[in-house]
Amino acid sequence: MDYGSIVCCTMAFLLYCNTLSSEFVYDDRRAILTNPDLLPKTPWTRLWQNDFWGTPMSDSGSHGSYRPLSVLSFRLNYLIGGFNPWGYHFVNVLLHCSATYLLILVARRVLPRNRRKLGSVITGALFATHPVHTEAVAGIVGRADLISCNLFFLSLLAYMAHVSQRDSTCCPRQCHHRSANSKNGAKKYEKIAVTLQKSLTSCHWPSKGLLQQESSQNGQKRGQDELSGWCCWKTFVRVWCYVFISVVLAICAMLSKETGITVLGISFVYDYIYARRNSLRKKQNRSLLVLFVALVAILSLRLQNKAPQFSTADNPTAKEASFVTRLLTFSYLAVFNFWMLVYPSDLSFDWSMDAIPRIKSVRDPRVLYSCAFYSVLMYIVYKSVKSVQTLRCENVNAVQKKLVVNSGCTVCCSKISENHSQNCRTANNNNNTPTCSCPGKRQGPTAAAAVLFALSLITLPFVPASNLFFYVGFVVAERVLYVPSAGFCLLVGFMCAKVFGRRHFSGICGAGLFLVLLGFGGKTFYRNNDWKNEETLYRSAIPYNPPKAYGNLGSILNTKGQTLEAEEAFRKALDFRPNMADVHYNFQKSDEIFPNIGYRIVGELLPPNYYFYEEQSSPVHANGGNKEAIQLHMNILGFNEEPGSEQKPAVGSIPLGGWI
């Protein structure tokens, strides 16, 4: 029984049990409560036409996130339990447990054999307890990341099986037949060759070589004809079925979350690192060509949709005019994300606006962090690639040398020497156990290969969210680290297992690992309480993103009728960021709650003719002209950001962004 996997999955389930009683929070309202695609009256085909939030992909206001499989899971949840959040949270917890188990299986395939058992368990334990997963598991919208991660690992495991089958001998029975005495027709020809060999005292008789070659070739050909057909056909079908399954699962992963398509890149890296070093290059090239064609075709279809437009507040650096500022800031964001994996102390539901100040000068100390990070990363990658290449060359040379030694006599395939006659008789003696020298024998994964694979698992799934190729609607999002964290856990798990192999440091490493798991588990369990409801969630983010947290908190308190607290929250939000249109609007609309001071305060912040636009926009909005009403408001407000953010204040307030 696999006790290690059971323990890790149990840890993952127990740590997130306290999320089962949580409510719908943050983006859950828009993705579930107000999403028409979950309702039975909506045709199932609409799921393949709308985005993640229920807006048609062809609509100009679409967010552009095409995740029909994730929406399908929400709809199945609704058919079973309606809008009861317990069922949605329960499915999320189960998906996290299954992702933990699949990562353990992946670790067992990529770690060195002497570190495999312990390293895979440590990897699974770290992944199960890491606090950065809280947003993906405790937030129901994180279902997209959970489903995509599970399909990601399944696709990777399928391709690993393809590589294993592809690099094995075409037909084991046929390979054994070549080295042993055949019972299917080649036996009599080999007996003739053995008889001739015994009657000769030298291997240099001219006619002997021709007889041996003819008899050996006839025997091998007849044996191959009888065994190769059906057996090799089954092997061929099985090998390429794994590739087909891997590509289909990769497509499904992308239909759950866009980053799922990066599994094809991970499979490419795995094939380069772990394929048999001396396997036929044509086999590997065919597999890699299939991956490349599939990746290009899928991306071509996916990128046909128009890129979504995000507000300045969502990603201020993307709208920055200075190229140097964009380069330095985006380079640092990767370091910031990696630090959250190493030390997940500061976590927030939102990092938009100016939660992370932009780097506008090379004299900023954070530039040194970026330089040090990328220098160490490039050095490790260089050393790992060099080690893998060295091993590949050494193995190929060894195989070539072996083939030269074994390529003399056509009967026994031994090097012709002084004792060749005796060696040949011994090799073809029926009383001896035949040996099979099959090319392409696999060597176990090395440390360099494990490190290189772990780094690729960290970096490649993060690339779509890195703002390197296209801008995204957020600065930092913890949920996008769900898959990259698997590579980080794999790297740490391998390092811990390697240290455990040293007697003098095993005790210290064990104590340190126990403290890390205890700290991760405690932080995760405590962080889950922040996602209990919207008020606790927004209060937890005040130290990291005050304007966004206070603005949303004011909307929640407004809905609950806590007038004084709502007033204070709105004031603080405007103190940190005076140009927040939705906060201005909610504050102005609060005259029923603050009859004495509401309009006076807003009147000081808004232009004199704001109320004229308000009178014009209200009937337009009432008649369904949402975009026109928004434009009327923005014309007078003159703010430097559009209100159409993915994150909206809670129901009960009247946010401009809620109209989109």
Q: Which of 502, 530, 558 is the last residue of a domain?
A: 530
Residues 491 and 343 in one domain: yes
- pLDDT > 80? residue 628: no
**What is residue 558's predicted lDDT score, i.e. its pLDDT?**
83
CB 337 within 8 A of CB 346: no
Residues 378 and 415 in one domain: yes
Residues 307 and 228 in one domain: yes
Range of the domain at 396: 1-24+83-428+439-530
Residues 284 and 359 in one domain: yes
Local confidence band at 602 (pLDDT 50, 70, 90 cut-offs) = very low
Residue 166 is assigned to a structural domain of this protein = yes
Residue 434 is assigned to a structural domain of this protein = no
Residues 520 and 555 in one domain: no
- As a whole number of angstroms, the distance between CA 451 and CA 490 comes to 9
**What is residue 337's predicted lDDT score, i.e. its pLDDT?**
94
Residues 172 and 104 in one domain: yes
- As a whole number of angstroms, the distance between CA 16 and CA 27 comes to 19
Residues 619 and 495 in one domain: no
Residues 605 and 518 in one domain: no
Confirm whether pTM is higher than 0.85: no
Q: Tokens standing for 42?
A: 């909506």
Residues 581 and 501 in one domain: no
Please indicate whether residue 77 or residue 581 has the higher confidence score (pLDDT). Answer: 77
The CATH number covering residue 592 comes to 1.25.40
Residues 583 and 510 in one domain: no
Mean pLDDT of 182-189: 48
Residues 415 and 560 in one domain: no
* Half-sphere exposure in the Cβ direction for 604 (13 Å, CA): 7
Terminal-to-terminal C-alpha distance of the chain: 53
Residue 54 is assigned to a structural domain of this protein = no
Residue 219 is assigned to a structural domain of this protein = yes
Local confidence band at 518 (pLDDT 50, 70, 90 cut-offs) = very high
Residue 564 is assigned to a structural domain of this protein = yes
Local confidence band at 114 (pLDDT 50, 70, 90 cut-offs) = confident
Residue 473 is assigned to a structural domain of this protein = yes
By C-alpha distance, which of 93, 95, 30 is closest to 65? 30
Q: Residue 515 contacts by C-beta under 8 Å, 6 or more apart in sequence?
A: none
Residue 61 is assigned to a structural domain of this protein = no
Residues 459 and 553 in one domain: no
Reported as a single tens digit per residue, the pLDDT across 32-83 is: 998 888 998 888 888 888 888 888 888 777 777 889 999 999 999 999 988 9
Residue 389 is assigned to a structural domain of this protein = yes
Reported as a single tens digit per residue, the pLDDT across 257-267 is: 989 999 999 99
How many folded domains does the chain comprise?
2
CA dihedral 627, 630, 635, 636 (to 10 degrees): 160
Q: Which of 501, 530, 559 is the last residue of a domain?
A: 530
> DSSP character for 39?
S
Q: Which of 472, 503, 530 is the last residue of a domain?
A: 530
Helices (H) and strands (E) in the chain, counts: 25, 0
